[in-house]
Structure 1
Amino acid sequence: MWELFSQIFPYVIAYTIPMLVTSLGGLYSERSGVTNLGLEGLMLSGYFGSAFVIKLTENVLPHGAYTALGLAAGILCGMLVASLHAFASINLKADQTISGTAINMLAAALTVYVARLVTGSGNIPIVMGIVRDDIPFLSKIPVLGALFFSRSYWSTWLVLALWGFSFWLLYSTSFGLRLRACGEHPSAVESAGINVRRMRWFGVLASGALSGLGGGVMLVTYSGEFNGSVAGLGFLSIAALIFGQWKPLGILGATFFFGFFTTLANVSQAIPALNVVPTVIFKVFPYIVTLVALVFSSKHMSAPAADGIPY
């Protein structure tokens, strides 16, 4: 059993990390008071932006340079599309659910259209993404070294660092307190002289940046090609955000939970001990558990009080 777990664990992490950073982006937006159902579209925008820039530069720049540039492009694309949601939701006070849905539809159509103009097929393959590598010394630690520090992507540690930074920013700084207050009692925040609109703009743009990074990380780790779909990871990130009770620790656990069972579904047919179980069981299990958990915890939900309410 341990051998099986150690074999699939790197794939679990690879699948979890893009979802974690995207869900973290949703946390910024919703903690500031703006519902963001457009995470799928923001992630898809970053996925496309990274593939497009890497395709243009992979024959000109060194591997590390074009990979980093591609991820930066994914972040910028995510922020650009997120600004549309911010303008509609904050400045125009539009229905945030409709705006997020429109972002998903716009990104899905626009990215595929531009990709077809560029390649003719709608797919944008890249030559090489991030290479797995062992971390010196740490990879030699018994048990933990083989799980966490052997054949890992540097993007994994970047995302975990962003998670730790976000935890600190939201819960240990006055800025984080103001941001969270905008999602709870915006009128009280405004009376204290804090610009609620500006704080909410920051939350939505941070959501776009992190979701775009999630799409880029997906490309350079296990996808290797833009194909017009992020396989529902954006929607999974929203589910993880809710399942995690809008808290960083909860999100970390929820995304790992989703990543673990999704990976099991993908590799179950190649594992004799698991191929007797229908693949669909592993695929739907996280959703069923989430629904059951939401039913029993609905009275104790910790969603921001002003989330989704225009101000």
Structure 2
Amino acid sequence: MMQDVTVGVSAVGISALAVGAGLLEATVRTATPLAYAALGESVSERAGVINIGLEGSIIAGALSATIAAGAIGVGGGFAAGAVAGLLVAALFALFAVGLRADQIITGTAITLFALGLTGTVYRTVYGAGGVALTTPTAATHALPVLSSLPLIGRAFFAQPLVTYVLYFVAPLLAWWMQRTHAGLALRAVGEYPEAAIAAGISPRRTQLLAVLFAGAMAGLAGATLVLAQAGTFVEGMSAGRGFIAIAIVVLGRWRPLGVAAAALLFGAATSLQTLFQSMGWTGIPYQLFLAVPYLLTLVVLAVTGKRGHRAVV
């Protein structure tokens, strides 16, 4: 009898460990596109520009990656996604940076324009049937030894190459912001523009480059969403990720490593809603589970906004 109980407890423990490992693996994969978009946006916001049009760059990157991957392969898909995101950001920069138009209104218009344009192009290229599941996807590469670690092994070390690149991008960006003259110039433009001008730094040039970088990163996020996560394109599949990325930047306190950690938190929220739906809780509408990441976004913005208000007062 005691042996049966021991075996049962062991089985439960192994099952819980497997669920935890699977959840963590899904969290990392889901967080990757969010982290790319948020890291780019952190650079833009450090320069004093809030790119509300980030959503437009993400969806443009997703569609461009889908089309290019089908024509020239996965690598070309990632490159096309980054370029598409950059072009959308360039349109935003033309008005918000060049003509000093209102950033919120401009970003909203850019997002709506990109969502409409991608829907039109998608239907023109693929017709009513859509792309289905014919898009090539990035292969998973398990790192020897590290991928065998319990719980965290497959989550962090059995991922597509684009995820491994992110492991280097976040700390490199943190070092660049804090330790280089260009990073100091970026922060000066966002925090003390008069001092930046006195030092011979061009605020508009710096902001333009920052917005373009953020757009390319958001386009890469859209490409990652298609080629390393969903495996296909669906109209409107960005699903508010651009706005979530902005909330992630706030939660990460505009610091790249904090932003990467915050992206994991939002990735976990998205993965949890999928887990909750799979549990078959028929008494609860599934729409409530879908709302988890967006509710978290509202909570983050409310809490950080309240803290910011107290600090000002």
TM range (shorter): 0.7 to 0.9
Q: C-alpha deviations, 1:197-222, integer Å up to 9, x for none? A: 11101100001010000000011112
- Determine helix, strand or coil for the equivalent of 2:191: coil
254-263 vs 241-250, which moves further? 241-250
Instruction: Return structure 1 stretches of 4+ with deviation > 6 angstroms.
Output: 274-277
Tell me, yes or no, if structure 1 residue 231 matches structure 2 residue 239: yes
- The 5 A counterparts of 1:60-75 are 66-75=73-82
Pairwise CA distance, 1:67: 0.8
Q: 1:107 aligns with which of 95, 114, 123?
A: 114
Task: Count residues with an aligned counterpart.
Answer: 293
Which residue number corresponds to residue 173 of structure 1? 180
Which residue number corresponds to residue 127 of structure 2? 120
Tell me, yes or no, if structure 1 residue 243 matches structure 2 residue 251: yes
Tell me, yes or no, if structure 1 residue 219 matches structure 2 residue 226: yes
Q: C-alpha deviations, 1:136-193, integer Å up to 9, x for none? A: 232233444243223x211111122222221111112111110011111112101111
* Gapped regions of structure 1 (runs ≥ 5): 58-65, 306-311
Which residue number corresponds to residue 61 of structure 1? none
- Determine helix, strand or coil for the equivalent of 1:226: coil
Tell me, yes or no, if structure 1 residue 186 matches structure 2 residue 201: no
Pairwise CA distance, 1:239: 1.7
- Determine helix, strand or coil for the equivalent of 2:81: helix
Bigger share in helix: 2
Which residue number corresponds to residue 161 of structure 1? 168
Seen in structure 2, the aligned counterparts of structure 1 residues 216 and 31 have a Cα distance that, compared at 3 Å, is same
Which residue number corresponds to residue 269 of structure 1? 277
- The 5 A counterparts of 1:4-43 are 4-43=19-58
Distance 2:203 2:62 in 1: 30
- The 5 A counterparts of 1:90-105 are 90-105=97-112
* TM-score, reference length from structure 1: 0.86
Distance 1:78 1:289 in 2: 26
**Partners of 1:245 and 1:301 within 8 A in 2:** no
Which residue number corresponds to residue 50 of structure 1? 65
Tell me, yes or no, if structure 1 residue 78 matches structure 2 residue 85: yes
Which residue number corresponds to residue 309 of structure 1? none
Seen in structure 2, the aligned counterparts of structure 1 residues 271 and 99 have a Cα distance that, compared at 3 Å, is same
Pairwise CA distance, 1:278: 5.8
**Partners of 1:25 and 1:208 within 8 A in 2:** yes
**Partners of 1:130 and 1:220 within 8 A in 2:** yes
- The 5 A counterparts of 1:201-220 are 201-220=208-227
Largest Rg, 1 or 2: 2
Seen in structure 2, the aligned counterparts of structure 1 residues 117 and 31 have a Cα distance that, compared at 3 Å, is same
**Partners of 1:18 and 1:218 within 8 A in 2:** yes
Pairwise CA distance, 1:242: 1.9
Which residue number corresponds to residue 18 of structure 2? 3
Q: What is the one-letter code of the residue matched to 1:71?
A: F
Q: What is the one-letter code of the residue matched to 1:164?
A: P
Which residue number corresponds to residue 12 of structure 2? none
Distance 2:129 2:191 in 1: 43
Distance 2:205 2:304 in 1: 33
131-140 vs 176-185, which moves further? 131-140
* TM-score, reference length from structure 2: 0.86
Seen in structure 2, the aligned counterparts of structure 1 residues 56 and 294 have a Cα distance that, compared at 3 Å, is closer
Pairwise CA distance, 1:5: 0.8
Distance 1:122 1:201 in 2: 39
- Determine helix, strand or coil for the equivalent of 1:35: coil
CA-atom RMSD in angstroms: 2.3
- Determine helix, strand or coil for the equivalent of 2:140: coil
